[in-house]
Amino acid sequence: AQKVTQAQTEISVVEKEDVTLDCVYETRDTTYYLFWYKQPPSGELVFLIRRNSFDEQNEISGRYSWNFQKSTSSFNFTITASQVVDSAVYFCARTRQLTFGSGTQLTVLP
Amino acid sequence: GAVVSQHPSRVICKSGTSVKIECRSLDFQATTMFWYRQFPKQSLMLMATSNEGSKATYEQGVEKDKFLINHASLTLSTLTVTSAHPEDSSFYICSAPRLAGVSNEQFFGPGTRLTVL
């Protein structure tokens, strides 16, 4: 099976620290999409970003940024100046069938 | 943006009963919908693909006689957990791609938390 690996099971940081969540994926497809989702305690998945495999430009959205490195099959997610509200489980995923990583529980302490 | 709803959001039932979960696409038609199951502190695992007008496709290891899927219309798919047991307690999430056959833009429902006593 082509996996999505999130090696960090849990991360704990203090508010205002920067934190990077790692994601490494396997695929035999030449065209695919990569995603990050946030799942707060309520359970509802919150879409954060979708990235086409042909677009390796890094993206920044407010305090969030993503680093896509096709050569290493990685799609890492950085939150700068973390806030308590960022505490959640974060999932990385890829197509074609949407396959999720195991998730990283991020806890931001005040 | 597109909205997918699920009903109920939470259900508690006795062992041996059947539970139906509805997934609706509210502002677009979905010929395909996906059902996921998430156990506590685990990832989402695809259970089955619901296809309007044809049989659902189940992932390996998912019992199709236990998890009945009916894609009744272009906006509604239902998952029925038959003869539920405590080990079926889980968070069930559906999703629907806005465009048929294109899984790169999926919209997720808010999930249904099933507890079987």
State how far residue B116 is from chain A, nearest Cα, in angstroms: 18
Locus of tokens 């998430």: B38
Question: CB A95 to CB B104 under 8 A?
Answer: yes
| B116 to A44, A70, A87, B25: CA distances (angstroms) | 21, 44, 29, 27
- Measure CB to CB from residue B44 to each of A42, A96, A100 and give the nearest one: A100
Residues of chain B with C-beta less than 8 angstroms from the C-beta of A45: 44, 93, 108, 111
Residues of chain B with C-beta less than 8 angstroms from the C-beta of A92: none
Lowest-pLDDT range of A61-65, B26-30, B109-113: B26-30
Question: CB A98 to CB B106 under 8 A?
Answer: yes
State how far residue A60 is from chain B, nearest Cα, in angstroms: 20
Burial B52-71 (b: 16+ CB within 10 A, else e): beeebebeeebeeeebbbeb
Chain B touched by A3 (CB under 8 Å): no
Q: DSSP letters of B97-110?
A: ESSTT-TTSEEE--
Chain A touched by B8 (CB under 8 Å): no
State how far residue B49 is from chain A, nearest Cα, in angstroms: 10
Which pLDDT score, from 0 to 100, does residue B10 have?
Answer: 97
Question: Mean of the per-residue pLDDT values for chain A?
Answer: 93
Q: For B45-67, what is each residue's pLDDT tens digit? A: 999 999 988 999 999 999 999 99
Question: CB A44 to CB B108 under 8 A?
Answer: yes
Instruction: Enter the DSSP assignment of A90.
Output: E
Spell out where A1-110 has E strands: 4-5, 10-14, 19-21, 24-25, 33-39, 46-52, 59-61, 64-69, 74-79, 88-94, 99-100, 104-109
Q: For A27-73, what is each residue's pLDDT tens digit? A: 888 889 999 999 999 899 999 999 989 888 888 999 999 999 999 99
SS3 call for A21: strand
Residue B85 pLDDT class (50, 70, 90 cuts): very high
Residue B106 pLDDT class (50, 70, 90 cuts): confident
Residues of chain A with C-beta less than 8 angstroms from the C-beta of B41: 105
| A81 to A38, A62, A65, A78, B76: CA distances (angstroms) | 17, 10, 12, 10, 41
State how far residue B44 is from chain A, nearest Cα, in angstroms: 6
Mean pLDDT of A17-31: 94
**Angular region, A98: left φ>0, alpha ψ -120 to 50, beta rest:** beta
